[in-house]
Amino acid sequence: MKKVILAFSGGLDTSFCIPYLNEKGYDVVTVTVNTGGFTTNQLKEIAQKAKQLGALKHLEKDGQKDLYNNFATNLIKANYLKGGVYPACVGPERIVIAQAVAKVALEEKAEAVAHGSTGAGNDQVR
């Protein structure tokens, strides 16, 4: 069977992806990259959900130091605020997640990588 690595948050979109990819003939390995927004309990629930939905296995990667060392410190130094209101950490956070998921894909010798994000972002879709 072909193997796919799924960036998995446990939300509706990525939860749909597991059975869908299984139906398409893929073994699904889910990866949650913690960039600082999850509690220990939430991470346990996400792992359980992945397995219940049919993931071959679930991995958790810690991206907190990478996000802080490579992005957050520079954003703070620059005093950059998106729209003049709040720190712009979403873009850098996505880079950390993508790099961690790509590394897992290489380690797992996967044929594909998948995610549940829309191309435009949720605000444009709603």
33: domain CATH number?
A: 3.40.50.620
In a domain, 20, yes or no: yes
In a domain, 124, yes or no: no
In a domain, 86, yes or no: yes
Q: What is the full per-residue pLDDT of the chain (126 aa) written as tens digits?
A: 899 999 999 999 999 999 999 999 999 999 999 999 899 999 999 999 999 999 999 999 999 999 888 887 777 777 877 788 777 767 788 899 999 999 999 999 999 999 988 765 555 544
In a domain, 34, yes or no: yes
Q: CA torsion sign, 101 to 102 to 103 to 109? A: positive
Domain that holds residue 49: 2-119
HEC sequence for 90-118: HHHHHHHHHHHHHHHHHHHCCCEEECCCC
The number of domains in the chain is 1
Query: Could you tell me the pTM of the whole model?
Result: 0.84
In a domain, 126, yes or no: no
In a domain, 79, yes or no: yes
Torsion of CA 38, 41, 44, 46, to 10 degrees: -50
